[in-house]
Amino acid sequence: MSFIEVKNLCKDYRIVQTEKGVAGAVKSLFHREYQVKKAVRDVSFSIERGEVVGYIGPNGAGKSTTIKMLSGILMPTSGTVTVGGIVPYKDRKENAKHIGVVFGQRSQLYWDLPISDTFDLYESLYDTPKDVFRKNCAFYTELLGMETFINQPVRQLSLGQKMKANVAIALLHDPDVLYLDEPTIGLDVMSKKILRDAVRTINREKGTTVILTTHDMDDIEAVCSRLILIDRGTKLFDGSLERFKADYKKGTTIKLEFEGAPPAAEPPAGFGIVGRDEHTLWLSTAAESSRDAMIGLIRYYDPKNIYAVEPRIEDIVRGLFEKS
């Protein structure tokens, strides 16, 4: 049996439908009509201990709802979930001892307390030996670079510093699994890199199972070996990043570099603009031969350099959802 087992998981929400105006509000007091929204539809997957899995999809796809059922916050409408042999929503207290959760939009910190005091507060919540807890405090303080601000009140910290502290708090009791829901949202490039490096280190040194939901596909490529893709509550793909690229990659992406700004003219027929910056233009083409495509672009643009590049996960995912 796998460490995490999800079978035919469904979650429905009943949403009250009210008519406009005072009359509609009064009517709803005596006779309510509901609309059923299916947030998660018959999702099944298994995750082995120590895996790092990216769980992705557009807004409203059901990602956070799935994480909340895995962590025991929500009860499924139907289907089953077990995490380390525990049914999360039936034994929430025991489940909480074995998981760490970070929601990017919510904080576990206390506004007027320094992080060091918050660590002490959380120590009393978990049945973890004091020496292990103290060792973990030192480990994550160094790993996440918190030495310079660990004694400052939370109200004085930047968004990146707060997120580092939230990740540390979720890991102080040595959980078996870490759920990260949009952990890098709103962070600068350096803070994102520190968090990604930390997740890889935690997985490698402690064997922690990680499930990451994010809209930043660079997070997925940096830390995950496996990808689960859902849309409208339904699982569309489950496999390695390499298989995802092989299955969904269409055509070729070509990078052109120029001495000055890229030409503003539309690309030749058969090519689409993927992106551009100060000196670079990325184009996509459905042509099977990258050699022929590059020869045509050299004649058309006369670039300084030209490369056929590996497609980014973000570009492939965006293309899939634009089509759907």
DSSP 182-227: STTTT--HHHHHHHHHHHHHHHHHH--EEEEE-S-HHHHHHH-SEE
Residue 319: the pLDDT is 67
Fill in the DSSP letter of residue 293.
Answer: H
Rg (CA), the chain: 24
Q: For position 169, what pLDDT does the model report?
A: 94
Q: Can you give the pLDDT at residue 36?
A: 86
List the one residue out of 279, 237, 247 whose CA is nearest residue 262.
279
Which tokens hold the place of 283? 């184009």
Complete domains list, the chain, with CATH: 49-246 (3.40.50.300), 250-323 (3.30.70)
- Tell me the CA end-to-end span of the chain in Å, nearest whole number: 35
pLDDT tens, position by position, for the chain (324 residues)? 799 999 999 999 988 777 777 776 666 667 777 788 899 999 999 999 999 999 998 888 899 999 999 999 999 999 999 999 999 999 999 999 999 999 877 888 888 999 999 998 888 888 788 899 999 999 999 999 999 999 999 999 999 999 999 999 999 999 999 999 989 888 888 999 999 999 999 999 999 999 999 888 889 989 999 999 998 899 989 999 888 887 777 678 889 999 999 988 888 888 888 788 889 998 888 776 778 888 889 999 999 999 887 766 777 776 676 665
Containing 134, the helix (H) or strand (E) segment is helix 130-143
Alpha-carbon distance of 70 to 166, in angstroms, equals 19
Between CA 217 and CA 77 the distance in angstroms is 30
Q: In the prediction, which pLDDT does 216 show?
A: 85
For 52, 255, 281, 324, the CA distances from 273, given in Å and listed in that order, are 32, 10, 8, 20
In this prediction, residue 288 carries a pLDDT of: 62
- 57 Cβ contact partners less than 8 Å away, ≥ 6 residues apart: 63, 229, 230, 231
* Order of strands across the sheet that contains 271-276: 271-276, 280-285, 252-257, 305-309
